[in-house]
Amino acid sequence: MNNTSIMKEDQRDIQFELKKFIAGASQNLKSSSPLELTKTALYLLKYLPSARDAVLEYFNILFDQSLERHVAQIRSGGTSEDYNDPILSEIQNVLGSFVSSNPEPWAPIISSWCLELLGQLSSKYQGRIGQANSLHGCLQLWMSCKASRTLVDINTQCLSCLIHFNTETCINSLLDTSVEHSPHFDWVVAHVGSCFPHTVITRVLSCGLKDYCLNEQGPKAPKLSSVVGILGHLAGSHFIDIKKALLSLFQWSLEPNVPGEDRNLTLQKTITVPFLLQLASMSPILHKALCSDVLPALTLDIIHRLSSLTPDWSPYLNGKQGLLSLCVHLVVHCEEGAHHIVQLVLDTVHHQEKGLHEIANTFIEMLLKEMEQHMRSNSEPIRFLQSLENNILSLLQHVPSDNQFVHSVVMRLLLLLGRHNTAAHVVILEHCLLLSDVQDLVLLVS
C-alpha cells in the first residue's frame, strides 16, 4: 500500500471516529458504552488537533458528573465505587502517556486544562463536598474524591515532566486560576506547592513580576494578590526557600544589562524593587523574609544605583512621595534590621553623592514623625524600635557626635527608645550622663 493510500485510510479513520464521537456526545452522554466514547475522544485528541476543545469540554462534563455522584454518595452516606472510575482512569492513563512521551507540547496544554477545570469544580462544589476547618483538611476532602484526585495527579505529572524544560505556562495557569477562583482553589495551590516548592516559588515570583511590569497598576496588578496568597501558603513549610528566592530575585535585578538583552527582561530588572516592596506591604511573612535576607544585602552604593531608577518606578508607586511613604510604612514594621537601616541613613553624610543624603534626610524625618504619631495614638509597640533596642549600644556609639545630622537623628531616636521602653531609657541615661552635654540630658529626661 503506497503512502497516499495510507493517508486516505487514516483520514477515513479520523472521520469515522469524529462522527462516532459527535453522535455519542450529542446523546447527552447516554451512550451505550461511555468508556468506548471516551477512547474515541482520546483518539481524536491525539490525531485531530482541531477537535481538542470539544474533547476537553466533553471530559469536563465527565469529571463534573463524577464529582456530582461523589457529593450525592457523601450526602446519602454511601461508599460505593464511582460510576466513572474506569473512564477517569482511562483518561489519566492516556493523557499521561501523551505527556510522558512528548512533554513540551502536551504538558502545558494538559496542565492548563486540569487547573482550569479544578478551579471551576472547586468553586462549584465548595461547601458541598464537606466541611473543613483548615487548608489541610480541605485538601484531604478533595483528594478523597476520584475526579479531583485524578486531575491533581495528571497536573503533577505535567509539572514533573516539565521540571527541566519550561514550567512558566503551567505556573501562569496556576496564577490565572487562583485569581479567578480563590479562595476555593487554595487547596490546589497548596498541593502543587508542596510537591514542587522551589519551582513554584521561583516561577510564581517570575510570573508575578512580569504581570506587575506589564500592567503598571501597582498594588492592583491582577496577579499580585495570588502571588502573595500562594507564597503565604508555602511560607509555613518553605520559609527558607522563599527567603532565598526573594534574595536571588533582588540580586538578579542588580546584574548589569547585557547588550541586546530583551527589553522586557530589562524592564523586569528595573521594576523588581517596587515589586518586592509591594509584596512586603501586602504580606507580613514576605515582609519578614525581605527584612531577614534582602535588607542586610543593601549598601549605600546599591541604594545609589537604585535611586537612578526611581523615575521608572513612578507609575508603580505613585511617584517619589509614594515610594518614600511605602518605605517608611515597611520600616516601621521591621522586626529586624533596624540598626542596619539607621546606619545606612547616617552613612549618607560621608557619601560622595549629596543627593543621596538629601533623600536620607527626607526619609528619616518621615520615619521619626510616623513613629512619634504612632506613639501618641497607639499603645502597641513599634517593631522598628523593638529591633533597635537589641542594638542600642551600637546606636550609643554615635553619642556624642560632631556631625549635626548624625547627632540630631541619634538623639531623636534615643528619645523615642526611652519613651518606648523603660529599661532602654535607663541604659541611655547612664551613657549620656557620662558623655553628653546638659542640653541633651534635658531633652532625654523631658
pLDDT digits (tens, 9 = 90+) for 394-443: 888 887 778 889 988 988 898 888 888 878 777 776 666 665 554 554 45
Secondary structure of residue 83 in the 3-state scheme? coil
Sign for the pseudo-dihedral over CA of 357, 360, 366, 367: negative
Number of structural domains found in the chain: 1
Q: Is residue 250 part of a domain?
A: no
Judge if the upstream peptide bond of residue 183 is cis by omega within 30 degrees of 0. Answer: yes
Of residues 262 and 28, which shows the higher confidence score?
Answer: 262
Phi then psi for residue 256, to 5 deg, are -65, 145
Q: Is residue 419 part of a domain?
A: yes
C-alpha cell at 362: 527626607
Of residues 429 and 254, which shows the higher confidence score?
Answer: 254
Q: Is residue 205 part of a domain?
A: no
Report CA Rg, the chain.
Answer: 30
Alpha carbon distance 287, 352 (integer Å): 31
Listed range (19-23, 236-240, 327-331) with the worst mean pLDDT: 19-23
- Nearest Cα to 334, choosing from 293, 287, 285? 287
Of residues 284 and 74, which shows the higher confidence score?
Answer: 284
Task: State yes or no: pLDDT of 121 exceeds 50.
Answer: yes
Cβ-defined contacts of 25-31 (< 8 Å, 24+): 25/54, 25/58, 29/61, 29/62, 29/65
Kind and range of the H or E run holding 399? none
Alpha carbon distance 250, 279 (integer Å): 13
Listed range (5-9, 107-111, 182-186, 201-205) with the worst mean pLDDT: 5-9
**Mean of pLDDT values over 358-366:** 95
Q: Is residue 395 part of a domain?
A: yes
Kind and range of the H or E run holding 307? helix 300-307
CB burial readout 34-54, b (16+ within 10 A) else e: beebbbbbbbbbeebeebeeb
Of residues 342 and 6, which shows the higher confidence score?
Answer: 342
**Mean of pLDDT values over 325-340:** 95
Q: Is residue 237 part of a domain?
A: no
> How does residue 30 score in pLDDT terms, banded at 50, 70 and 90?
low
Question: Could you tell me if 121 and 147 are in contact, meaning their C-beta atoms sit under 8 angstroms apart?
Answer: yes
Alpha carbon distance 19, 48 (integer Å): 13
Residue 392 structural domain: 333-446
- Nearest Cα to 336, choosing from 283, 279, 388? 388
Please state the pTM of the whole predicted model. 0.83
Q: Is residue 120 part of a domain?
A: no
> How does residue 4 score in pLDDT terms, banded at 50, 70 and 90?
very low
Could you tell me where the beta strands, DSSP code E, fall in 221-367? none
Q: What does the pLDDT look like over 156-182, one tens digit per residue? A: 999 998 887 778 888 888 888 988 898
Q: Is residue 342 part of a domain?
A: yes
Q: Is residue 407 part of a domain?
A: yes
Give CA torsion, residues 162, 163, 165, 168, to 10 deg. Answer: 80
Alpha carbon distance 307, 135 (integer Å): 42
**Mean of pLDDT values over 59-70:** 93
